[in-house]
A and B are shown apart, each in its own frame.
Chain A
């Protein structure tokens, strides 16, 4: 069996999602913690284009970009499939994974803003979350249906990280009254053992994001 290594960062949701999928598939791997402010030669070698985590190294071959890594894992270790078999359902899953990637920055803009700009950010985030809830999740327990799939994993940051973002930014966007289905989904996702047991330390994350927010707000001409 070829060796699997994951270069990650404890605070990165992109890193987390790879861990969840590896664990759900029962794939043994070695985790290497990277410091984004002090990148190792290994990381720069293995992801010369973007120089970012996560990077999966399997049998000496490197795969970068989390959504691409997830599809690679799904194809290489087909046990416990996380994408539907049906081509149309797969297309729907990929649509929502893409949506989540493209809209993540906007949903998290509340983190990088304050005052009137933050008010606008809250409005835009609310609109996007409504679309996800109504058109993506609907009445299902998970985006994947009865069991979690790749879309749930790709949106996992919303369940686990977003409340920290809200706390640190002193806002509440994803509340139970406005988003009953999404709220229920979050509660369901958090008790999935692999997710529950592989979340970053809450206090550590609060401290980390507090510092990041301060840095953002201190930037001159903070555009979003």
Chain B
């Protein structure tokens, strides 16, 4: 039956990957049923290498046999293909540009630098922490503009691309604080960012998809130890 074929969605991913989490949240928000295929990133399946020969990474969304790679590309694809669920992007081109701008900012400026904090120590880490605080300050300023009037708002259970990406980064902020000993989501320094992240972690789809705190702590500790050992070698 045609309906069944159109709904054939598989997601190749890994439980701890924030990039994969983005796609899972989007699929849940849109109410799209999917099959999750857990990949061992140390021992990648033939199928993954076939579906993503360029980057060989997760997430990969397979829709009716056709692979789509790169989480942000996947999110836009989901939004354009399943128009029945809540929209992940606004309709207006200028609002879309703003959302894409801040999504790109979170992806390039915050994600990268937070990873650096996790993978370094001493002076290098101090420097990286400083950069994250600077970028958070820019985001805080940007939110004042973004949240003005009708440009943007957190609407109960609805999430858009920017919400999803920010949540995929700072949803695990408690685990990050525990492992790194730094409080980034600070209500005094960044009240807008903090209240936004807090609201996002309460969304049902996010709660249902969040791995247990101990597991997140363990994975972050593992990433950190491995990186520190590699740089000491």
Chain A contacts to B: CB under 8 angstroms:
48-49, 58, 61, 63-65, 68-69, 71-72, 75-76, 87-88, 90-91, 94-95, 98-99, 131, 135
Contacts and interface: CB of A to CB of B under 8 A. Distances in A.
A94 B69 contact: no
Nearest to A75: B93
A68 B104 contact: yes
B73 A91 contact: yes
B2 interface: no
B94 A61 contact: yes
A117 B97 CA distance: 38
The interface size bin for chain B is: 20 to 34
Given A63-B97, A87-B80, A88-B77, A95 B104 contact: no
A95 B142 contact: no
Contacts of B138: 49
B213 interface: no
Contact of A95 (B63, B69, B97): B69
A64 B138 CA distance: 15
B70 A98 contact: yes
Interface in B96-110: 96-97, 100-101, 104-105
Contacts of A75: 93, 96
18 contacts: A49-B105, A61-B94, A64-B101, A65-B101, A68-B97, A68-B100, A69-B97, A71-B100, A72-B93, A87-B81, A88-B63, A88-B66, A88-B68, A91-B73, A94-B70, A94-B72, A94-B76, A95-B68
Interface string B65-97: 010111011101100110000000000011011
A169 B54 CA distance: 28
Looking at chain B's contact residues, the main secondary structure is helix
A75 B70 CA distance: 22
B122 interface: no
Nearest to A77: B93
A91 B77 contact: yes
Contacts, number: 58
A151 B77 CA distance: 17
Contacts of B72: 94, 98
Contacts of A99: 54
B228 to A, nearest CB: 20
A76 B80 CA distance: 17
B53 A135 contact: yes
B94 A63 contact: yes
Interface string B18-60: 0000000000000000000000000000000000011000000
Contacts of A95: 68-70, 73
Nearest 10 interchain pairs by C-beta? A75-B93, A91-B77, A87-B80, A72-B97, A94-B73, A63-B97, A91-B68, A68-B100, A87-B81, A76-B93
A38 to B, nearest CB: 23
A63 B54 CA distance: 30
Nearest to B96: A75
A68 B101 CA distance: 7
Nearest to A47: B101
Q: Which residue, of B68, B69, B76, B101, has the highest number of chain A Cβ atoms within 10 A?
A: B101
Given A91-B77, A95-B68, A95-B70, 18 more contacts: A49-B105, A49-B138, A58-B94, A63-B97, A63-B101, A65-B104, A71-B96, A71-B97, A72-B93, A87-B80, A87-B81, A90-B76, A91-B68, A91-B73, A91-B76, A98-B72, A98-B73, A99-B54
Contacts of A68: 97, 100-101, 104
Nearest to A90: B80
A171 to B, nearest CB: 24
Nearest to B98: A63
Contacts of B53: 135
A18 to B, nearest CB: 13
B76 A72 contact: no
Nearest to B138: A49
A78 to B, nearest CB: 10
B54 A131 contact: yes
A58 B74 CA distance: 29
A167 B100 CA distance: 36
A87 B97 contact: no
Contacts of B63: 88
